Amino acid sequence: MIKEYSGIAPRGDILLIQKLCEKLRGGRFLHINSTREGGGVAEILQRMIPLLADLGIDARWEVIEGDNKFFEFTKKVHNSLQGTREKIHKEMWDYYYEINRKNAQEIDLRADAVLIHDPQPAPLIDFRPKRKKSIWLWRCHIDISKPVESVWQRLRRYVIKYDAAVFSVPKFAKSLPIDEYIVSPSIDPLSEKNIELTKEEIRNVAEKYNIPLDKPIILQVSRFDKFKDPIGVINAYKIVKKYNDCRLVLAGSPATDDPEGSIILEQVREYAGKDPDIHILLLPPNHHRDINALQRMADVILQKSIREGFGLTVSEAMWKEKPVIGGAVGGIPLQIIHGVTGFVVYSIEGAAFRIRQFLNNPEMARTMGKQAKEYVRNNFLITRQIRDYLSIWYSRKYPGKNVIEL
């Protein structure tokens, strides 16, 4: 399987993955999260587990089970950790623990390295088998830099029992008495979302959604959510439209867990009015290949968020050699190096100006697009993430060493 990435991922990363797998051959690597499908974590695990197994690692992926009550609670915890106040009853923490205890009885927790993803299964650390050589890591995928403090303090009790924590971005990390690593998330270049498509397939998708390919396309792919600022995107488009003829495509899936989603969508539709050059597409979930095609037909891609986690849609666009304009929030500035791999903007006017720059300078757009792809190749592909996980596991065998020679 790793060979499929040859010629796509950096040679060094592929080589190091192979070497580390030789060293760790037969080692048991257990991942536990709370969903088999949906979301970036599951997408990466679906690919990573068979790939590691193929290289001789005893890789296993378990999913904790819970009822609605449990997941409603963990959703509240999730929101609170991202700074939104939620009503959380004290006894719910006991229920959360109890569900984890039940899962611990069902799941074989014996492994050499265990990666527990996000808060839902965090209490599993209390059921760690008494085997000294194993390492337990808590992998946090969300931005907990400004949490509701009481909720974080409660979760922290579990977190500090781990050997180490892994965060996506330095500024998402907390000051903890355990080791903390930074591992950025990644995209899979071979997934439906990112794989190369033929021109014909791209044309077919354009036809399917009634998007004429007669003028430049500006695209934003995101949920209809106020933090993605779809109204701001329309305003930027309206400014651009005075100077350059173009189309705007806003494509997103309905957010089932977000009642505000449909309200925002209505607002966006109303705001767009009857402009035939604005296309608002509501795609069913998992229409990854269509999104892929939309990104490939676009001339400029926006991610004008005003709040963001890591914002991997930016890397997805960059991988397709597109000039990207993103809001200066969350992980976006880590992907867009201003003026090199795209532009970071702070306002609607800024976004409009950069769109016009790209539309008027196709050569610059092409150069930045190419640089963007290289940047993603070196930093945000799944192989780099696998390499990092294996490296952390291996390096834990040499505590205190800052340089490890293979």
Partner 1 sequence: MGRKKIQPFEFKQCISIIRSTGKKAKNLVELRNIIAKISDESIFHHVHQYFLKGHMLEYTNDFAQWAGESLEERALAERLSSIDPYSLKTIDAVRKQLIKEIDLFLKSFPHPHDVVEGNEFYFNETITIVFPIGVKTKNLAEFLVALKHVDPASIYYHFYDSRVRLGEGIVDDFSRWIEHTLGNKDLADRIRSIDPFMHSIESIREHVTELVEAYVRADMEGFVR
Q: Contact between 402 and partner 1 (CB under 8 A)?
A: yes
Return the range that interacts with partner 1 (CB under 8 A); candidates 12-20, 211-219, 227-235, 247-255: 12-20
Amino acid at residue number 149: E
Q: Of residues 1, 4, 12, 83, which one binds partner 1 by CB under 8 A? A: 12
Nearer to partner 1, 100 or 385 (CB): 385
Nearer to partner 1, 86 or 179 (CB): 179
Cα atoms in the Cβ-side hemisphere of radius 13 Å centred on 113: 22
Nearer to partner 1, 261 or 331 (CB): 331
Q: Contact between 145 and partner 1 (CB under 8 A)?
A: yes
Of the candidates 156, 159, 146, 151, which has an alpha carbon nearest to the alpha carbon of residue 92?
151
- In whole angstroms, give the CA distance from residue 107 to residue 125: 13
Q: Of residues 337, 350, 357, 366, which one binds partner 1 by CB under 8 A? A: 337
Q: Contact between 171 and partner 1 (CB under 8 A)?
A: yes
Q: Contact between 13 and partner 1 (CB under 8 A)?
A: yes
Structure tokens belonging to residue 94? 């006991």
**Would the CA dihedral through 288, 215, 308, 340 be positive or negative?**
positive
Cα atoms in the Cβ-side hemisphere of radius 13 Å centred on 217: 21
Q: Contact between 182 and partner 1 (CB under 8 A)?
A: yes
Q: Of residues 6, 68, 105, 175, which one binds partner 1 by CB under 8 A? A: 175
Q: Contact between 406 and partner 1 (CB under 8 A)?
A: yes
For residues 74 and 120, the answer to whether their CB atoms sit within 8 Å is yes
Nearer to partner 1, 37 or 374 (CB): 374
Binding mask 347-386 for partner 1 (x = CB under 8 A): ----------------------------x-----------
Return the range that interacts with partner 1 (CB under 8 A); candidates 71-79, 155-163, 181-189, 223-231: 181-189
Q: Contact between 405 and partner 1 (CB under 8 A)?
A: yes
Counting Cβ atoms within 10 Å, is residue 346 exposed (0-12), middle (13-18) or buried (19+)? Answer: exposed
For residues 240 and 359, the answer to whether their CB atoms sit within 8 Å is yes
- In whole angstroms, give the CA distance from residue 275 to residue 143: 37
Q: Of residues 19, 161, 269, 288, which one binds partner 1 by CB under 8 A? A: 19
CB of 381 to partner 1, least distance (A): 13
Q: Of residues 96, 162, 167, 310, which one binds partner 1 by CB under 8 A? A: 167
Q: Other C-beta atoms within 10 Å of 303: how many?
A: 28
Q: Of residues 8, 10, 102, 161, which one binds partner 1 by CB under 8 A? A: 10
Question: How far, CA to CA in Å, does 364 sit from each of 171, 286, 300, 315?
Answer: 31, 33, 12, 19
Of the candidates 44, 57, 19, 40, which has an alpha carbon nearest to the alpha carbon of residue 383?
44
Q: Please tell me whether residue 387 adopts helix, strand or coil conformation.
A: helix
Size of the site for partner 1 (CB under 8 A): 37
Question: Which parts of this chain interact with partner 1 (CB under 8 A)?
Answer: 10-13, 15-16, 19, 145-146, 167, 170-171, 173-176, 179-183, 337, 340-341, 375, 387-388, 391-392, 394-395, 401-406
